[in-house]
Amino acid sequence: MQKHQFDQWIHADIERHMEVPKVFVIGCADLSTYQLAVEFKHKLELIREDDKPMSFASLEVVKEELIKLGLDSAYLRLHNAYDECGTLEGQPYYDIELSLKSY
């Protein structure tokens, strides 16, 4: 999904007082960057800018971008590369809610 489409979608939902879709900040244990994705039809779709996935060097930069977009919260999805060797029973990722509100 292109960033401008995502921006229009979430602002339309905010104006209609509807539930904003879940937004995920995706990071891997062995990567130094984070990407944004939105849940659409029970699947994660990367948010793109100029047909390239948006990529951020730190969580603080991601949070600033999400605040600019008008979001109050997002989920940090951490994939652990070392879990690939584990059992198939557990999920290969962990979701942690990120609050974007300033107190």
Nearest Cα to Cα of residue 100 among 76, 61, 73:
73
**Of 14 and 93, which is predicted with more confidence?**
93
Within 8 A by CB and 6+ apart from 53, the residues are 35, 36, 46, 47
Prediction pTM value: 0.79
For the chain, the residue count is 103
Asked if residue 99 has pLDDT above 90, the reply is no
Q: Which residue ranges make up each domain of the chain?
A: 3-99
Residue found under tokens 């590369």? 81
Give the residue ranges of DSSP H helices in 16-96: 59-68
Mean pLDDT, rounded, for 56-82: 87
Residue 52, both tokens: 């390239």
In tens, the pLDDT along 11-67 reads 775 566 677 789 999 986 666 889 999 998 889 999 999 999 999 999 999 999 999
